[in-house]
Amino acid sequence: MSFGGSRIDAAIAKELIRVVEPMAIEAALQAEQMRMDTLNEQRRIIELDLQQAQYEATLAERRYAACDPDNRLIAAQLERNWEAALRRVQACQARLQTARTSVPARAAPDFTKLAEDLDAAWNAPGVTMRMRQQLVRALIVDIVAAVDETTREVILTIHWQGGQHSQLRIRKPKTGEHGCSTSDEALAVIRSMVTRWSDQDIAASLNRMGIRTGQGKTWTAHRVRSVRHVRDIHAYKSAEKEGEWLTMSEAAEVLGVTNHAIRRLIKDRILPAEQVMPDAPWQIRASDLHTEAVDAALTTRKLRPCRSAIEGQLPMFIEDSEGGAQ
């Protein structure tokens, strides 16, 4: 009995997070309650300090008022004691104001999304495999694995601490199957373009779309060819084109114009063109190059890049008919 371990590890980690989630939410609620209790206790201590400071200030005021004004030495000392007590009152009031404003009134936090935080913590870059193993060993007694060949599934029975157990069924990968497979989006692009475009054109289109290979790399003609070979996708054959469909460069060569002229005709909807999907190269039917609309556009228009003429600007070069080079 043999099977790959990457999918098993991922399934166990997902199950562990699912099981720990209720306990994590309960622990978070308790931690929030403890935090609020601590803040309330600190505020209560400051309030008691303020009461003590106010009492001492009132007592110092009474002593100063009861002092004989002629005894200036004692009166000055009692006055200083009173001022010190008032400063202590002001300090306690400032501390109490800070404690009240630092914790604004708000609703209780929502811990329903704590499972996402647990998943992010489990997959955080700073968490090592050893730390994950220690957590698993602390929560799981053992795991019993079996393979059901009829359904090609791996059956895992997890025995948790405390006597509970849960069962997982994971599809057993086929021979040669791995996690770095080509995405369905990339395969759809290749299948749609392979009948009309070369591997080099397909690779360029995939890169323009921002689609990566299964290993996160950019596409090349060799990688497109490898995917076609593995997925049994028939290759593009130029001999099968028979001149019905042309690329932009081929159409420009037939009409004797530049690629920019063909692009302007397509943009102005004069020359019909198709794309198997957005960002793919344009495909032009050869019979559409000789329509009256295309001929009229080539005759009447100057299909050059749009540049605004600046009044008074002199040309860099002057033709011989205008007097030769200056």
- What are the beta bridge partners of residue 168? 156
Share the mean pLDDT of the chain. 77
Q: Of 240, 255, 277, which residue is a domain's last? A: 240
Three-state SS string across the chain, please? CCCCCHHHHHHHHHHHHHHHHHHHHHHHHHHHHHHHHHHHHHHHHHHHHHHHHHHHHHHHHHHHHHCCCCCHHHHHHHHHHHHHHHHHHHHHHHHHHHHHHHCCCCCCCCCCCHHHHHHHHHCCCCCCHHHHHHHHHHHEEEEEEEEECCCCEEEEEEEECCCCEEEEEEECCCCCCCCCCCCHHHHHHHHHHCCCCCHHHHHHHHHHHCCCCCCCCCCCHHHHHHHHHHHCCCCCCHHHCCCCEECHHHHHHHHCCCHHHHHHHHHCCCCCCECCCCCCCCEEEHHHHHCHHHHHHHHHCCCCCCCCCCCCCCCCCCCHHHCCCC
pLDDT exceeds cutoff 50 at 322 = no
Residue 315 counted as domain residue: no
| Residues ≥6 apart with Cβ < 8 Å to 263 | 248, 282
What percent of the chain is modeled with pLDDT above 70? Answer: 76
Boundary-marking domain end, from 220, 240, 260: 240
Tell me, yes or no, whether 236 and 282 share the same domain: no
User: Is-contact 318 326, C-beta < 8 A?
Assistant: yes
Same domain, 203 and 263: no
For residue 314, is pLDDT > 50?
Answer: yes
Would you tell me the crossing angle of helices 72-102 and 6-66 to the nearest 10 degrees? Answer: 160
* Spatial distance between the Cα atoms of 219 and 211, rounded to a whole number of angstroms: 8
The stretch 194-214 carries a mean pLDDT of 85
d(CA 40, CA 299): 86
- Report CA torsion sign: 176, 214, 168, 123: positive
Query: Is the domain of 202 the same as that of 226?
Result: yes
72 and 29 in a common domain: yes
Task: Assess if residue 224 is contained within a domain.
Answer: yes
Whether residue 316 lies inside any domain: the answer is no
Domain boundary pick from 240, 257, 284: 240
Residue 31 pLDDT > 60: yes
> Is the domain of 225 the same as that of 257?
no
Confidence class for position 240, pLDDT limits 50, 70, 90 = very low
The C-alpha atoms of residue 255 and residue 297 are separated, in whole angstroms, by 12
Quickly state the pLDDT bin for 263 (edges 50, 70, 90).
confident
Say what the pLDDT of residue 48 is.
Answer: 92
Is pLDDT of 256 > 60?
Answer: yes
Q: Tell me if 231 is assigned to some domain.
A: yes
How many C-alpha atoms does 305 have within 13 Å on its Cβ side?
2
Average pLDDT over residues 139-152: 84
How many domains does the chain contain in total? 3
**pLDDT given at position 237:** 53
Q: Lowest mean pLDDT of 61-65, 92-96, 122-126, 213-217, name the range.
A: 122-126
Maximum pairwise Cα distance, the chain:
124
Percent of the chain clearing pLDDT 90 (strictly above): 5
Q: Are residues 195 and 250 in the same domain?
A: no
Q: Are 225 and 269 in contact (CB under 8 A)?
A: no
Partners of residue 144 on adjacent β-strands: 157
Residue 175: per-residue pLDDT: 60
Over the stretch 101-120, which tens digit does the pLDDT of each residue have?
866 555 555 555 555 566 77
Q: What is the mean pLDDT of residues 141-166?
A: 83
pLDDT band, residue 26 (cuts 50/70/90)? low
153 in a structural domain: no
Domain assignment of residue 269, given as a range: 245-300
Same domain? 26 vs 80: yes
Does residue 11 form part of some domain? no
Compute the distance between CA of residue 42 and CA of residue 144 in angstroms, rounded to an integer.
Answer: 51
pTM score:
0.37
pLDDT at 220: 92
* Residue 94 covered by a domain: yes
pLDDT at 281 over 60: yes
Q: How far apart are CA 8 and CA 286, in angstroms?
A: 55
Same domain for 25 and 92, yes or no, is yes
Residue 95 is assigned to a structural domain of this protein:
yes
Q: What pLDDT was estimated at residue 155?
A: 86
Q: Which residues is 166 bridged to in the sheet?
A: 158
What pLDDT does 1 receive? 56
CATH number, position 277: 1.10.1660
